Amino acid sequence: RENGYSFITVDLGSVHSVDRFNAYFATRLQSAGIKAPTLLEIYLSTDNVDYTLVGSCIPYDTLESLTTTATVKLGSEHTARYVQFRISSEFSNWMMVSEVEVFGREKINLPGDVTDDGELDKYDLLLIRRHILGVSPLDNSRADSADIRQDGSVDKYDYVILKRKIS
């Protein structure tokens, strides 16, 4: 528990387009002091450092089930590698989260992301440079990512565009 909330961070492995989130909480343990949370907030990040709040909901306990489901649906798609579920409770320090889910679309092709890690960085720049110099040619899928201008070839112009983006 940190800053009045508990959190679960999910690493999707690479940048994805996301638009819906579910969290499931055990709520039939009130005699043990475990109750449904009062707020679920969803934060997104591509670097696991800077997070942006994109949605929230108040979990509604119907008293008909052993679990409470909280769903956050976004009005538009967002991109993220990291999804943080921040969970607050006014009633108890104890919560039982049984599952969290993240939904979205297929992975997004980030032009210039030759390493396919969801980030534009010096490693992508290095691979493009080595390809242009003929030291280490890129395979077809990596060359497609490196072809920022989408003109069918990886050249010095793609290198300059990427260098400006990461500088």
* pLDDT the model gives residue 106: 61
- Strand 67-88 and strand 39-45: the pairing is antiparallel
Q: What is the pLDDT of residue 153?
A: 94
Strands 67-88 and 6-26: antiparallel
Contact 125, 154 (CB under 8 A): no
Q: Which residues contact 122 (CB under 8 A, 6 or more apart)?
A: 166
Tell me which of 49-63, 125-139, 147-161 is least confident: 49-63
Say what the pLDDT of residue 30 is: 62
Given this model, what pLDDT does residue 124 score?
Answer: 93
Count the Cβ atoms, other than its own, within 10 Å of residue 92: 15
pLDDT of amino acid 151: 94
For residue range 71-105, what is the model confidence (pLDDT) as tens digits? 999 988 799 999 999 998 876 666 778 899 999 86
Q: At residue 22, does pLDDT exceed 60?
A: yes
Containing 162, the helix (H) or strand (E) segment is: helix 156-166
Give the separation between CA 6 and CA 86, rounded to whole angstroms.
6
pTM metric for this prediction:
0.61
How many alpha carbons fall within 13 Å on the CB side of residue 120? 16
pLDDT at 118 exceeding the cut of 80: no
For residue 135, what are its two tokens?
Answer: 């030291």
* pLDDT confidence of residue 130: 93
- Please name the residue ranges forming H helices in the chain: 122-132, 140-146, 156-166
